[in-house]
C-alpha cells in the first residue's frame, strides 16, 4: 500500500482537473481558429501549441492544491517518524489551520511554468503523432483505429514530461517544504550545485513508465467520448 500514498487527492480531483484542462484548451483552440478555416481542417500546429500555453495558468489553479496535499502525504513517512497526517482531509485541515490557505498554492509559479512549457508539447505532440499514424486511414476513407489514439497519447505524454520535468521536480521540492522555507531558485541552485544538470531529471524514468498508460487512457477516453457526443448531437 506504500505505493499508493497520497492517491486520494489526485483520485478525487483528477476528474475536475482533466475536465478543466481539455475544456479550457478547447476554448483557446476555438479562439485561435481563423474565421475562414474550413470545418474539419486540422488547426495549425503552432496554434495548437499556443492554445496549450494559454491553458496552463487556469488549470494549474485547480492542480496546485491537490499537488500540495499529495506531496505532503507521500513524503510524511520518509523519515520513519509517526505520520503527521491521518489522510487527505486531515492534511487539508491542518494546512488551513496552521499555515493558512495560501499554502495550498505553494509551488504555483513553478507548476504554471512547467505547464506553460509542457502543454504545447503535450497537445501538439499528440496531434502530430495522430496525424502521422492516421494518414493512410484517412486517405482510404477508413475510421481511425483506437490504438492510434493510445499510442499518440503516450507520445504526447513523453513530449510533455521531457520538456517540463525539471520544472516539475523543482515544484515538488518546493511543495514538500514548509511555506516560506525555500523557493524555486533556491532549489534550482541546490540541485545544480549538488547533482549537476542531470540532477534535474532525477526520477525521470519512473515518470515515463507511468506516463505511457496514463496518457494513452486519457486520450482514448477523450476521443471516444467526443465521438459519442458528436454522434448523439451533443
Q: Where do the structural domains in the chain lie, given as residue ranges? A: 2-231
- What would the mean pLDDT of 129-145 be, rounded to a whole number? 87
Amino acid 222: pLDDT: 93
pTM of the predicted model as reported, rounded to 2 decimal places: 0.84
At residue 219 the predicted structure's pLDDT band, cuts being 50, 70 and 90, is very high
Task: Out of 70-74, 80-84, 132-136, give the one with best mean pLDDT.
Answer: 132-136
Amino acid 2: pLDDT: 77
Amino acid 80: pLDDT: 61
What's domain 2-231's superfamily in CATH? Answer: Mitochondrial carrier domain (1.50.40.10)
- Within a 10 A sphere around the Cβ of 18, how many other Cβ atoms? 15
Q: Which helix (H) or strand (E) holds 146?
A: helix 146-176
Q: How far is CA 107 from CA 46, 94, 177, in A?
A: 28, 18, 10
- What would the mean pLDDT of 79-103 be, rounded to a whole number? 84
Amino acid at each position: 500500500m506504500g505505493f499508493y500514498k497520497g492517491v486520494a487527492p489526485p483520485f478525487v480531483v483528477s476528474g475536475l482537473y482533466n475536465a478543466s484542462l481539455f475544456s479550457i484548451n478547447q476554448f483557446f483552440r476555438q479562439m485561435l481558429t481563423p474565421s475562414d478555416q474550413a470545418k474539419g481542417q486540422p488547426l495549425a500546429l503552432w496554434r495548437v501549441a499556443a492554445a496549450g500555453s494559454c491553458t496552463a495558468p487556469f488549470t494549474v489553479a485547480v492542480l496546485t492544491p491537490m499537488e500540495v496535499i499529495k506531496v505532503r502525504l507521500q513524503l510524511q513517512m520518509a523519515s520513519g517518524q509517526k505520520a503527521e497526517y491521518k489522510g487527505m482531509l486531515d492534511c487539508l485541515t491542518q494546512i488551513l489551520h496552521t499555515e493558512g490557505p495560501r499554502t495550498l498554492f505553494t509551488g504555483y509559479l513553478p507548476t504554471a511554468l512547467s505547464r506553460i512549457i509542457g502543454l504545447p508539447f503535450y497537445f501538439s505532440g499528440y496531434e502530430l503523432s495522430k496525424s502521422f499514424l492516421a494518414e493512410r486511414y484517412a486517405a482510404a476513407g477508413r475510421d481511425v483505429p483506437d490504438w492510434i489514439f493510445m499510442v499518440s497519447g503516450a507520445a504526447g505524454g513523453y513530449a510533455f514530461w521531457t520538456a517540463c520535468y525539471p520544472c516539475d521536480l523543482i515544484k515538488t521540492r518546493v511543495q514538500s517544504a514548509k511555506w516560506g522555507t525555500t523557493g524555486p531558485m533556491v532549489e534550482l541552485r541546490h540541485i545544480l550545485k549538488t547533482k549537476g544538470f542531470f540532477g534535474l531529471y532525477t526520477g525521470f524514468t519512473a515518470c515515463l513508465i507511468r506516463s505511457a498508460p496514463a496518457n494513452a487512457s486519457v486520450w482514448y477516453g477523450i476521443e471516444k467520448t467526443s465521438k459519442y457526443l458528436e454522434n448523439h448531437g451533443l
